[in-house]
Amino acid sequence: VSLCVAGGIGVTPFACVLQALLDGWRGFRLQRLYFVWVCKEIQSFYWFAELLCALHKKLWQENRPDYFNLKLYVSCTESLQRMSEERYRPLSSRLLVGRPKWKMILDEIGKINKNRRVGVFCCGPKGISKTLHRLCNSTRSSGTAFEFNKESFS
């Protein structure tokens, strides 16, 4: 079980992972992937919208809809527009306004994955990685162990 968290352009390292899952995910030992992407403006999501929609469609066709849990957060509401194009419909239902409530997200993942290890991979602003690192190191009542890893651009 893995949680991938991207802030803005921090999605770049995860693009190859998502493409590999689309190309032949059965070879992965991964049981479930949680993917959270936070951007200031909705236009940023169009970078990988086709890939995200294709992966969503493939997993539904293969009867694995719970394998990929996607949440998209738009933090700046001033430029908010809907992803209204028909081809992006799977993404519009996963679009949330505001900033993620990280503790609540980790608690939810912990409840679903009791007594398991969850790899947390983060690439984005320092504020997100600091918060996730602190939360991953705090005690979990569900027995879930969150293992924090981060990628940073220099």
Tell me 142's DSSP state.
T
State both tokens at 113: 């994955």
d(CA 94, CA 89): 9
Burial class of residue 51, CB neighbours in 10 A (0-12, 13-18, 19+): middle
Identify the residue whose tokens are 């809907």.
82
Measured over all CA atoms, what is the biggest interatomic distance in the chain, rounded to whole angstroms? Answer: 43
What are the chain's domains?
2-150 (3.40.50.80)
pLDDT (tens, 9 = 90+) of the chain, 154 residues, equals 999 999 999 999 999 889 988 888 666 788 899 999 999 888 888 888 889 999 999 999 999 888 999 999 988 766 555 555 555 666 777 888 889 999 999 999 999 999 999 999 999 999 999 999 999 998 666 789 999 999 876 5
**H helices present in 1-154, as ranges:** 12-24, 49-61, 89-92, 102-112, 126-137
Local structure of residue 120 (DSSP, 8 states): E
pTM score of the predicted model? 0.88
